[in-house]
């Protein structure tokens, strides 16, 4: 099973940049999308179906053109779960899950903390999400939670580790993602790749991507019971449909 995750920063914009041709070439079994910024009624869904993804699921924010997640699948899942049933989360369309026999895959888009109000929202979301996942693991222990966490965990995950006062690298955020991992998850990429300078997001400013001044804020978190099935984890920086790039994991 090859699973990709990609914050596309607007699926309609990504489509204009060759997303479908890239998707066919990448050929994942499942791809989790974040920040699609669209309702499915605004899309030509046959594009995805003709690319091999007959089963596609969209969970959009109430506000059009904002947030929203999707999952495209080659094989029909047993069940699809839209949202978390937590009122403070679901109106922004940030969680979508597909369940298969041996594991479940979630597309997650954690909020960014761009100002004080949004930072408070993000911190509350993180706490509620942790409680939600703790409960979810009681019935679904085999989880792959892919997405944009909007947090760099360690110094190695950011090009400038002095940026400790910036949301995405705040001590409270870093502590939370550390605790999330300790609650029973594996940061699949970092567990298999110890090298620096591997990032998944770059600012559009100051030629950051060409200079590889990036942040690793996208993760495929794999729950501990799936540890022995984890075969490969990777980042695909050559894909340039967004300010993020895709990440992926292969499990057996």
Phi-psi region of 194 (alpha: psi -120 to 50; beta: other; left: phi over 0): alpha
Distance CA 45, CA 95 (A): 20
Distance CA 97, CA 198 (A): 27
Give the three-class secondary structure for 13: helix
Q: C-alpha angle 125/245/166, rounded to 5°?
A: 45
Residue 184, Cα to own-chain centre: how many angstroms? 18
Where in the sequence numbering do the catalytic residues fall?
148
Write phi, then psi, for 120 (nearest 5 degrees). -60, -40
Distance CA 130, CA 132 (A): 5
| Both tokens assigned to 167 | 């949301």
Residue pair 199/237 in contact by the 8 Å Cβ criterion? yes
Distance CA 218, CA 6 (A): 8
């Amino acid at each position: 099973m090859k699973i990709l995750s990609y914050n596309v920063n607007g699926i309609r914009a990504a489509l204009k940049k060759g997303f479908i041709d890239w998707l066919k070439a990448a050929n994942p079994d499942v791809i989790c999308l974040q920040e699609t910024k669209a309702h499915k009624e605004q899309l030509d869904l046959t594009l995805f179906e003709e690319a091999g993804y007959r089963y596609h699921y969209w969970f959009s924010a109430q506000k059009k053109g904002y947030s929203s997640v999707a999952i495209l699948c080659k094989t029909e899942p047993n069940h699809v779960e839209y949202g978390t049933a937590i009122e403070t989360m679901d109106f922004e369309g940030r969680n979508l899950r597909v369940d298969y026999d041996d594991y479940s895959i979630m597309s997650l888009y954690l909020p960014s903390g761009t100002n004080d109000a949004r930072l408070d929202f993000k911190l509350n979301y993180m706490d509620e999400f942790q409680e939600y996942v703790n409960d979810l693991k009681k019935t679904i222990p085999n989880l792959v939670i892919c997405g944009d966490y909007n947090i760099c965990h360690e110094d190695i995950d950011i090009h400038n580790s002095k940026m400790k006062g910036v949301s995405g690298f705040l001590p409270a955020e870093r502590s939370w993602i550390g605790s999330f991992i300790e609650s029973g998850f594996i940061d699949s990429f970092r567990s298999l790749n110890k090298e620096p300078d591997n990032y998944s997001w770059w600012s559009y400013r100051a030629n950051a991507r060409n200079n590889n001044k990036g942040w690793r804020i996208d993760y495929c978190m794999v729950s501990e019971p799936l540890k022995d099935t984890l075969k490969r984890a990777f980042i695909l920086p050559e894909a340039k449909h967004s300010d993020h790039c895709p990440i992926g994991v292969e499990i057996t």
